[in-house]
Amino acid sequence: MKIGIIGTGRLGSAIGKIWTEKGHVIMFGSQDPQKAKKLANSISTNANGGTFKEAADFSDVLILAIPWSGAKESIKAAGDLNGKIIVDSTTTAAPHLGGAIIRITPSAAEKIVKWAEGAKVIKTVHTIGVESLDKLLFGTQQASLFICGDDLDAKSKTKQLGLDLGFDVIDAGPLINARLIEPLAMLWIELAYNQGMGTDIAFKLLRRRKSK
């Protein structure tokens, strides 16, 4: 799959590295294309770098791996996104992890639908620390990844990317349910930092096996 990643920070570089190892081809997009190219060169021959628009035009799936504060501007710079699958992994955390910038309604993902007219928006990859992305097994349990979106094909492609990362992927329904799963990021931050549990934590949906 051709994956564009908007952002060259810790999240973008971590998922980009894992996906290239799974055979996907990556293009990082940045306001500084040389920075994106440098990151790509440090990761894999299956990665390249360029502008936001170049990453968007290249991709089958476009990942937003940037701070929420830069989302609207980055989407605008990416150009025409009609029909594009956009995976929103933004976290609406206030500076210094002090709380949420926006409330549950509407969700960040629903705002992105309006900014990226005609795009197929999926919400996911926002409820775990970057440090755990290459070690998603906790004992014998895989960390759960919740995804939601309205387009079934887009959701299917995103689910595969989640499986490639190593998650137990949970379909959480239509995009409006981003209002339910986005606050999990706030809970993760609260537990990891304010409650002192550290970043080596993840959420898990447990299923009881039906007796025969």
Residue ranges and CATH numbers for the domains of the chain are 2-194 (3.40.50.720)
Least confidently predicted of 96-105, 111-120, 158-167:
96-105
Q: 210 falls in which pLDDT band (50, 70, 90)?
A: confident
Whose CA is closest to 206, among 155, 140, 158?
Answer: 140
Distance CA 175, CA 177 (A): 5
CA 101 to chain centre: 18
pLDDT class of 19 with cuts at 50, 70, 90:
very high
Rounded (10°) CA dihedral 146, 150, 155, 158: -70
Q: 50-65 pLDDT, tens per residue? A: 999 999 999 999 999 9
Q: What is the pLDDT of residues 168-185, one digit of tens each?
A: 999 999 999 999 999 999
pLDDT tier, 102 (very low <50, low <70, confident <90, very high otherwise): low
Q: How far apart are CA 146 and CA 21, in angstroms?
A: 23
State the distance between the two ends of the chain, measured CA to CA, in whole angstroms. Answer: 40
Q: How far apart are CA 201 and CA 183, in angstroms?
A: 16
pLDDT value at position 168?
A: 97
Q: Are 162 and 124 in contact (CB under 8 A)?
A: yes
Please compute the mean of the pLDDT values over residues 71-89 and round it to a whole number. 97
Residue 108, Cβ neighbours under 10 Å: how many?
24
Minimum mean pLDDT range among 75-79, 95-99, 200-204: 95-99
In the predicted model, is pLDDT for residue 95 greater than 60? no
> Is the pLDDT confidence value at 105 over 90?
no
Average pLDDT over residues 141-164: 97
Alpha helix stretches (DSSP H) within the chain: 10-21, 33-43, 52-58, 71-77, 108-115, 152-165, 178-181, 183-189
3-state secondary structure of 88: strand
